[in-house]
Structure 1
């Protein structure tokens, strides 16, 4: 991968890592469910007006929107609102990687030894981090963040099964799914009065709206756009490991901006989780194909049959 593309991958990791600070700022003003609805609405409206609908089955579009847009962010925002440290949230959310591997097995994907080891290592790391959350009220935000990672995994699986010809269109149209269910949850659980107060009050308004715009424009549109562009030009195994810089940026930014300092045990757990996720993202080496001599007539027939088969499967 050229150095320019590597820098772009690193830029995305920085944008996504700082995303957690932006979410933290927005939660100082808005209740979590309403904030999720607001975030996706700001992207969904221009998407419906300007972006063609992706040519994918509706069930996978809805599955992607429910998993990635509803479950992930409803649980993540609730966890951070309930006290999950901003930096640790960026780390625990990476549980989506082992969850994705395990869900993939259910739809017939092969679980290699390396990926199985990665799942085990990541789980051990999460247990180490979670052990510091046991007791008092700290465990519940941790569990909510794990649920967010599981929601992300459902979104990953749905987007993979969709086989979108234009992945960015699917990513943008996914945002059409969450606004109504999230607004319904917000009205039911947070109430119209709290929602109205969050919009009209001026307590942390500047920081909250700035954080919301950051998550929409830089975190979602710019970050996802660059990432999708890179994934279409390079093997996933080359690009995906750069996502492991996200918790590094998230933990560092929270340390600097918010004074959050993970305990030594939590830092050890962070390293173990990152190692596990890197293992789960490894792509197995392709099998070695030996060249054999083929009769010219037989080769032509083989090519014709292969072409017909390809047409039938398109």
Structure 2
């Protein structure tokens, strides 16, 4: 990946880590499904009136909205409302990395490299360490809801990957319009039509502040960057960056709520970071090692599918690229 795209991925991980603190603050005053629906209603309107529809089918727009947003965040909001800690929630969601790699291989034919696959597996080991350390004290239902959110996010990643060429920002805005419909319908079915209206009318300034953060920063900014990266690179190359979200969330929870990470959290977070490093840089180091040993005499025509410089550009400065930059 190009260095600027790596920085974008790291920024997304930072934003989404802090976002779990904002969600927990909002859940103190607002029912989870209402809070999630309000978040995406504010993302869609009024921007949908001025942002042109992305050049993808309605099925792709609906798929991104239902899986990457409604299912992913609807499940995790419910899980946190039922007691899943803000530090554990992002770790459970990292199951999406495994789901993304498997679904991308099955549905898109993307085969992860050995270092990428090893890095994902190492990251999942770190996830398992934390879950084993804290999962014993957690209810079963919130854990399963968190895993369902990870599966939905993985499906959303694959759908977004198929939307190559579409404006990432427009995709975020238009897909957000899909989200409030199923969430509010479920809330009305469970608690009646008066609950969503009363919840919004009685929101505190702190709840509104947390909602605006999730709208402007976590959704409009972070999801635009994320969708753009998924259009430039294979899903198995992008998804592991979300393994950085749990350590950031743990640090944010400690600074805001005084939640001190335990031994399991620190150990698991370190293993997760190792998995990210291996998945992102293992293949590059392997190629350089082979070059030093003299086993790679002829440069490849295209440097994987990363969108990086081609052999033509390296041999003849200024030559046109064989790979389109998104």
TM-score band, normalised by shorter chain: 0.7 to 0.9
**Structure 1 spans left out of the alignment, 5+ residues:** 292-314
Corresponding residue for residue 175 of structure 1: 176
Corresponding residue for residue 92 of structure 1: 92
Corresponding residue for residue 215 of structure 1: 214
Cα 1:227–1:112, aligned 2, differ >3 Å: closer, same or farther?
closer
Corresponding residue for residue 111 of structure 1: 112
Cα 1:175–1:273, aligned 2, differ >3 Å: closer, same or farther?
same
In the alignment, is the contact (CA less than 8 A) between 2:244 and 2:276 conserved in 1? no
How far apart are the structure 2 equivalents of 1:95 and 1:160?
18
Alpha-carbon deviation of 1:120?
A: 2.6
Deviations 1:59-108 (A, max 9, x none): 22221111111110111101111111112223332322222111111122
In the alignment, is the contact (CA less than 8 A) between 1:122 and 1:274 conserved in 2? yes
Corresponding residue for residue 250 of structure 1: 249
**Structure 2 spans left out of the alignment, 5+ residues:** 291-295, 300-326
Cα 1:169–1:282, aligned 2, differ >3 Å: closer, same or farther?
farther
Corresponding residue for residue 82 of structure 2: 82
In the alignment, is the contact (CA less than 8 A) between 2:130 and 2:265 conserved in 1? yes
In the alignment, is the contact (CA less than 8 A) between 2:160 and 2:227 conserved in 1? no
Deviations 1:186-234 (A, max 9, x none): 11123334333322336xx121111001100121113334556778899
Cα 1:56–1:231, aligned 2, differ >3 Å: closer, same or farther?
closer
Cα 1:109–1:245, aligned 2, differ >3 Å: closer, same or farther?
closer
How far apart are the structure 2 equivalents of 1:260 and 1:41?
31
Cα 1:220–1:69, aligned 2, differ >3 Å: closer, same or farther?
same
In the alignment, is the contact (CA less than 8 A) between 1:240 and 1:281 conserved in 2? no
Deviations 1:150-170 (A, max 9, x none): 111111000111223322222
Tell me the secondary structure at the aligned position of residue 132 of structure 1. helix
Deviations 1:27-79 (A, max 9, x none): 11111111111111111122320111111122222211111111101111011
Alpha-carbon deviation of 1:255?
A: 0.9
- Write out aligned runs for 1:1-314 (5 A): 10-107=10-107, 108-135=109-136, 137-201=138-202, 205-225=204-224, 243-280=242-279, 284=283, 290=298
Cα RMSD between the aligned structures? 3.4
How far apart are the structure 1 equivalents of 2:169 and 2:175?
10
How far apart are the structure 2 equivalents of 1:190 and 1:281?
45
How far apart are the structure 1 equivalents of 2:5 and 2:136?
44
Cα 1:226–1:152, aligned 2, differ >3 Å: closer, same or farther?
closer
In the alignment, is the contact (CA less than 8 A) between 2:116 and 2:283 conserved in 1? no
Larger Rg: 1
How far apart are the structure 1 equivalents of 2:179 and 2:35?
11
Return the structure number with greater relative CO, CA threshold 8 A, min gap 6.
1
How far apart are the structure 2 equivalents of 1:30 and 1:118?
38
In the alignment, is the contact (CA less than 8 A) between 1:30 and 1:198 conserved in 2? yes
In the alignment, is the contact (CA less than 8 A) between 1:94 and 1:277 conserved in 2? no
In the alignment, is the contact (CA less than 8 A) between 1:96 and 1:152 conserved in 2? yes
TM-score (norm 1): 0.79
Cα 1:194–1:166, aligned 2, differ >3 Å: closer, same or farther?
closer
